[in-house]
Amino acid sequence: MSSWWLRAAERRVAVDPSLLSADFADLRGEMASLARAGADMFHLDIMDGHFVPNLTFGPPVAAALRRRTDLPLDAHLMVERPARLLDDFAEAGVDSITIHVEAADEPLATLRAIGQRGMKRGLTLRPGTRLETVRPLLGEIDLLLIMSVEPGFGGQHFMPAALDRVAEAAAWRRGGNFGFAISVDGGVEGHNAADCRAAGADILVSGTYLLHAANRAAAIRKLRGE
């Protein structure tokens, strides 16, 4: 099992706060707060206003965030034709890039291009896209992101059907002796984190629940089951 997202070779479920739910006027302070609370990495929701309706931020903001943290930056590109942005995000210093299988003209070539630029290769798909779509690419990835909401908006409710997809992906991983991590993104909260972990998730992306928590350290512990 890959452990690239963990500090000090810790073997545990990683918590990946989504900065989409952060105070954009104080991202430096938000990142410092989350790091103190025990976050393992930071999830960057990159939206282009085309593949998804919303528009967020791009490589210049990612580069600014890189200068403020040593934790891994996990970029989720919800954009059309993601291959055109790989150089910019590589220069910005992100550690991993996740692309949507529906958005890439050539998913395999794009994944390989991500790896060639020294970044971890992530793949994801919309909840309505058949999981079988990504199966031929499992040997080419470091991360499989299971969306438990429709991409493009924060604050949505968790779709329980995502748990079956996590479990199926975990079975494929065991059967094929693959080394990719499984992440769950969307509506992940204290009450459903245990189900995600039990299904086989290695990384939990949490936005609204974690960023709005009165005690972020306690919220992270609950997500991990500690």
Q: Catalytic residue positions?
A: 45, 185
> What is the rounded distance in angstroms from the CA atom of residue 194 to the CA atom of residue 166?
13
Q: Which two tokens stand for residue 2?
A: 């890959």
DSSP secondary-structure letter at 17? E
Degrees, nearest 5: CA angle 144-140-74 = 45
- In this structure, the dihedral spanned by the alpha carbons of residues 169, 175, 181 and 183, taken in order and rounded to 10 degrees, is 10
> What is the rounded distance in angstroms from the CA atom of residue 175 to the CA atom of residue 167?
12
Check: CB of residue 139 under 8 Å from CB of residue 112: no
Indicate the angle between helix axes 27-37 and 216-224, nearest 10 degrees: 50
Q: Which two tokens stand for residue 55?
A: 């528009």
Distance of CA 29 to the CA centre of its chain: 21
Strand (E) positions, 96-200?
96-100, 120-125, 143-147, 181-185
* Total H helices, total E strands in the chain: 8, 8
Q: Which two tokens stand for residue 189?
A: 């909260």
